[in-house]
Amino acid sequence: MPQVDTPYLAGLDLRDRRVVVVGGGTVAQRRLPTLLDVGAQVELVSPEATPAVEGMAQAGELHWHQRRYAEGDLADAWYVLALTDDTEVNAAVVAEATRRRIFCVRADDGTAGTASTPASAEWHGLRIAVASGQLSKRPPISGGHDPIRAASVRDGVLDWLRSEAGERLLDSPGSRSRSRTALPGVALVGGGPGDPELITVRGRRLLGQADVVVVDRLGPRTLLGELSPDVEVIDATKLPRGRFMAQEAINACLVERALAGKFVVRLKGGDPYVFGRGSEEFAACVAAGVPVTVVPGLSSAIAVPALAGIPLTHRGVAHEAVIVSGHLPPGHPESMVDWTALGRLSGTIVVLMGVQNLPAIAVVLRENGREGATPVAVVQDGSMPAEKITLGTLDSIAELSEQAGVRAPAIIVIGGVVAQRQ
């Protein structure tokens, strides 16, 4: 029997198990969301991290040791990923993992690790994985361990699943596929509130055709792990009161890549035109002569309350719903929100980006007519596995949110409709 160099595929149950990731760059940004979604207790070891990865640490989704890797970091781990751009560090991580009999992925040289990350995708409850490799006694095919080739095969399977035959087999609509048909310009894609299944069919299809993806941390981040390795991923994360990529730089990036002949998908959380600055990016593309397409998405202002069981309107309770930004406190000279008028309304108020200013918002609404007993819900990480809901009233919600450790991203819903939640 010939010796084989093809990895054995197995499903790992990493829930509540320690996983060590060494390196906080763009490769980690792709790999981390899937680990977090399966419930792994992730410990990141890296002196630096992309803004999106830093945001995961700030949100408490992982523990970040902000330093270089050191011998002993892998103790008690179940799984390890060496994802730095330093070959010596990656080799040292693999060596320690091997001594400890811990399977380890090495991103810069898949053949030098003891495990590999297959090209994978989720399609209506099915997890599809393709690992590259070849018979060692035969000449290498496309370079042996070829992640791009594996991704192409995976996408071919997804193409078939999207076909009439696949739909008949599984009796369900199709999923994403990576088409090799060249597309022009930029697509502004609303990714929904975060759950990857809440992106639109068209948005997911265009994402699968992208040469470049410009993404922020509020988009459906697990979909990054399904991209072919040849897709360039650019982190446009804006951290609250932290690091950010200036909007002008994002606009320039979209235009530059598109004019270079790349098909660019700007993957945004929620809807591009609901506090997403999509119109600014659209205008920049038009001014540069770049074809641009807008794909609407589910706005978190609507989707997150609905998923939490809160209707924005309800017969006999609320005949109006107003969506406002709370990133500036009431009374700020640059704020365009008329909080005095909102206090006189009887309907639903949805506040985005308002966690920091929630105490001041509650005060000004009470001062202008809203009862202190008005129900309030704060939904953090809506639609995501770490979703947390804090309930209270205008009188109590600021203190309750502080006690619960609520942090962005969170949606604040104010009004009688909150009482409709079962």
The 10s digit of each residue's pLDDT in 325-371 is 999 999 999 999 999 999 999 999 999 999 999 999 999 999 999 99
Q: The CATH number of the domain where 111 resides is what?
A: 3.40.50.720
Answer with the one of 117, 137, 167 that is the final residue of a domain. 117
Q: pLDDT value at position 386?
A: 87
What average pLDDT score do residues 408-412 get?
A: 94
Q: pLDDT value at position 135?
A: 35
The 10s digit of each residue's pLDDT in 25-68 is 999 999 999 899 889 999 999 999 999 999 999 989 999 999 99
Q: pLDDT value at position 120?
A: 78
Measured in degrees and rounded to the nearest 5, phi and psi for residue 282 equal -60, -45
- Residue 138 sits in the same domain as residue 112: no
- Residue 282 sits in the same domain as residue 315: no
d(CA 177, CA 137): 33
Q: Yes or no: say if 95 and 102 are a contact pair by the CB < 8 Å rule.
A: no
Active-site residues: which are they? Answer: 216, 238
Q: pLDDT value at position 142?
A: 36
- Partner residues linked to 375 by β-bridges: 393
Cis peptide before 173 (omega within 30 of 0): no
- Residue 283 sits in the same domain as residue 381: no
The 10s digit of each residue's pLDDT in 272-283 is 999 999 999 999
Helices (H) and strands (E) in the chain, counts: 12, 17
As a whole-number percent, the residues of the chain with pLDDT over 90 amount to 69
Neighbours of 171 (CB within 10 A): 8
Q: What is the mean pLDDT of the chain?
A: 88
- Residue 222 sits in the same domain as residue 166: no
Q: pLDDT value at position 241?
A: 60
Q: Which bin fits 134, alpha (ψ -120 to 50), beta or left (φ > 0)? A: beta
- Residue 238 sits in the same domain as residue 285: yes
Q: pLDDT value at position 177?
A: 43
Q: The CATH number of the domain where 260 resides is what?
A: 3.40.1010.10
Q: Is residue 290 part of a domain?
A: yes
Give the pLDDT band (50/70/90) at residue 134: very low
- Residue 1 sits in the same domain as residue 113: yes
As a whole-number percent, the residues of the chain with pLDDT over 70 amount to 88
Answer with the one of 101, 117, 133 that is the final residue of a domain. 117
Which is higher by pLDDT, 129 or 297?
297
Q: Which residues contact 144 (CB under 8 A, 6 or more apart)?
A: 5, 111, 132, 133, 134
Quote the number of domains for the chain.
4
Give the pLDDT band (50/70/90) at residue 20: very high
Q: Is residue 181 part of a domain?
A: no
Q: The CATH number of the domain where 403 resides is what?
A: 3.30.950.10
Instruction: Give burial (CB, 10 Å; 0-12/13-18/19+) of 13.
Output: exposed
196: containing domain: 186-298
Output the pTM of the full model. 0.73
pLDDT above 80 (res 305)? yes
Q: Is residue 180 part of a domain?
A: no
The mean-pLDDT minimum among 9-13, 156-160, 183-187, 415-419 falls in: 156-160
Q: Yes or no: say if 145 and 111 are a contact pair by the CB < 8 Å rule.
A: yes
d(CA 119, CA 154): 7
